[in-house]
Chain A
Amino acid sequence: MEQFVKLGQDMALLWSNYAGNFFDGSGYLGGIRNTLILALVATVIGCVIGLVCGILNTIPYTKNDPPLKRFVLKLIRIVVRIYVEVFRGTPMVLQAVFIYYGLPYFTGNAVQWPSVWAASILVVSVNTGAYMAESVRGGIISIDPGQTEGAKAIGMTHVQTMLSVILPQALRNIMPQIGNNFIINVKDTSVMFIITFTEFFAFHRYLVGVNNMYFPSAAIEMVGYLTMTLAASLILRFMEKRMDGSDSYELVQADQLTMAAGTYSHPDRGTPFDEHSKEHREKTRQMLKHGRMRGER
């Protein structure tokens, strides 16, 4: 029990000294700010990359298309495939190092990264994009192909079909995936300390290097990350509900064609085949009574 009290005291001590300021980027709160900005910007850019890859990957082609178009489309698919496999298949922390130090290396130090922000956003976005590309592809193929046909049948092109019919629905379906990616980004941006990006976890590393209070600081980090991800989950749920729209609609006036029982018109009306005709009812009654129609052998 004493341990808990001590932990509480230590955490309070750390917080009162190093809480920092959310807006000027200092202390714990500043780290939280940087983490959130990086995660948010990278998720948005990543989603755009994913959408573009997903759309490019699902452009249909038929045997009737000119060979050049087919060649280009196949090439695009291969390029997207390689991009996805490379960035999904290597650790993000390694990608960060690779890209951050790769640029000066290849240009003989002529070109440096303008800021660690630019490098971090690029790495996390490209990484998110690789995951989103597959999610978007899944979202697109989950929309029943009939709707694509419906759109084509009224003369829409592939881009029109995608933008006005398929993507709005696919986007709704992949919202949980986008949320997943955002939450993963909130946590995984912590590896960006490797290229000296000062987000939430980097501040912890800096601080414990100074005062050795490893565990209390880690506890603050735990609470901080959990608060961010829980808030993100709540906001995402709310957004999903908003996207679903209202379940109710208003009738503008009464519908004349939908029948109230027995009042509709149909081609059989007035013939013995009309289910509501006397003959048909009599026939049904007879069949129920005798098992078959009278006079039928």
Chain B
Amino acid sequence: MKRRQLSLDDIESLAVGAWILGTGGGGNPYLPLLNMRMLYKDGHRVELMDAADLADDDWVGTVANMGAPLVGQERLTDSLTLAKAVTVMERHLGRRFAALMSMEIGGANGVRPFMAAAHLNLPVVDSDTMGRAYPELQMTSVAVGGLSGDPVSLVDVRGFESIVHKVPNWKWAERIGRKICVEYGSVAATCQPPRTGAEVKQWGIHGTTTKAIALGTAVRKAQREHTDPVAAILSVEPGKLLYTGKVIDVARRATEGFLRGIARFDGIDDFRGSQLAINFQNEWIVAHRDGEPLAMTPDLICVLDTASGEAVGSETIRYGQRVTVIALPPTPIFLTAKGLEHVGPRAFGYDLDFRSVFSS
């Protein structure tokens, strides 16, 4: 099996890139990054492998944290608890995993599999199931592919272990898992439904860890050399610059357990006189410029701090911030009719036909 060891510098870049791919949600990867710094200091190392190098009958564990990002800022998830979510699942299945992978490359969950992998001495597959961050479990490539949504293990740092053993679909996995998570204190380390090597090869979104590292490396290099970080991002990814402006209003409301709302921007530089509005449900979902739809899910809408090139999240975006908005292309899996049913604008309640910013 071909594997490549990641340097700590790769992981520093991964954290910056994963936050950009978080498209406003997924939580800031700073705390997982700190964990990785500590693990590397203690001599742990992690390896990345390609999905193509998995055997069809290998089993792969999908690692993610579930919960409110705010709780995660007080109850800091430690790496051993994530590793335990994996071993609890292995015990439940009576099988060992050959590798781990990310559920969502976007945000903090893009780094967390590496925290578990460092303890378990397992490689991490260079694939995920969203290619970004999304708010719900059925918004994954594996759900679009019709793969099963159970079992799920949920672990609390105080030693609680739960398994959601059997559910009819992903929506139920989300509902029951969410209840357990809330009782834990709105934070749980989880191992998502196990996947075979064959399933990962067919339904995984490939190369996303490498993509996040490339994005982060470009931004960090631009920061060091005081060059334009947004131009650096667009030089490594086939993205599109949509807008430059500053935040003039943010309205947020919590509904059905999500942070929904709208952020409004006033254009500066080339966009002076032009208004932008982006609706969010944890992640940036639909952007309108001067009243006309400009970009929408599943295209990745990334709001970046203009000066640093780092991502700006929907939970922390604030008045007066100077931002640049870009779009990045989504995985083709989400562009199919079935894919758009799961993650297109209508899946978020917007009566819009999907039109990609990359189609013209």
Check if A and B associate.
no
